[in-house]
Amino acid sequence: MYKIGIAGAGAMGGRIGVSIKEAGYDVTLIDHWEAHVNRINTYGMDIKTETENYTVDIPAILAQDVTTEFDLIIILTKAMHSEAMLKHLLAAGCIHEDTAIMSMMNGLGHEERLSQIVPLSQIYLAVTMWTAGLRGPGQLLLEGEGTIHLQRADGEMDSHTNSILQILNKAGLNAQISDNVFEAIWSKATLNSVVNPLCTILNKTIHEFGSYPHSAEMVKPIIDEIVAVAQAKSIELNSHDLLQKVEAAYPKETQGLHYPSMHQDYANGRLTEVDYLNGQIAAYGQAANIPTPRNTMLTQMIHQLETKL
């Protein structure tokens, strides 16, 4: 039986884990949040969708207690916790030489960091457009549809790639194998690098920010920096297309009513993932001698806010 671990069982980890579990696979949720883990094990995962409420029985375990050896580990922790989680799972004997490690986290550079812990050939990158919310310990809010694009981090195809694809699609997660997953990752990172810090700094929903008549003038220079840095890394992005992608998030019927995840983290007293978005873009830009003053400033402004946490 293919054993699957979801490392980081928050909103998105819960959604992916529950979907795969409902498809009949052996799935374990792994997390550090004791109240969350205990409620899942006692009552199951409580699911609320647009049309129904139901419960899914799925095993959950605290990260410090896990010893199971997995064939696939999907990492959905916050980016800043991913390396510590992977090191812990490796030390706990959860990873064998053929375990597939799939990062589905937001942000950039995960393959570089994780490959310092396990071989690059074991790392798979995925970008998802699914959304999810956590209403409380063991309580998921699942709305809307989404997709997943995936690829082995070194670009090679192998049997694991097809196995992962089959698992995700049996779970109804609309997955497909990409021949250049980095473009999809950078495209999503661009959206997050715009709406996340700006809505957090300005304390606005995505719709409220987009309703400002000069929002495009604020957004385009940020995007232009990202496109220039991406090109230096041989990733082709189009500024016009990315601006349209950002603006498509503004309407209330898409993402507009929501505060982005960075705003939610800050509002709940948690450090943000800005270093893996604007901060990573600035770092790549510095390495390639490409100025990134706007992404650098956004990173510093978010860190200024975090000094209050």
Q: Mind telling me the catalytic residues?
A: 188
> Which residue(s) pair with 56 in the sheet?
45
**Two tokens, residue 303:** 């860190």
DSSP the chain: --EEEEE--SHHHHHHHHHHHHTT-EEEEEES-HHHHHHHHHH-EEEE-SS-EEEE---EEEGGG----EEEEEE-S-GGGHHHHHHHHHHTT-EEEEEEEEE--SSS-HHHHHTTTS-GGGEEEEEE----EEEETTEEE--S---EEEEETTS---HHHHHHHHHHHHTT--EEE-S-HHHHHHHHHHHHHHHHHHHHHHT--HHHHHTSTTHHHHHHHHHHHHHHHHHHTT----HHHHHHHHHTT-SIIIIITSPPHHHHHHHTT---SGGGTHHHHHHHHHHTT---HHHHHHHHHHHHHHTT-
**Two tokens, residue 193:** 């690098």
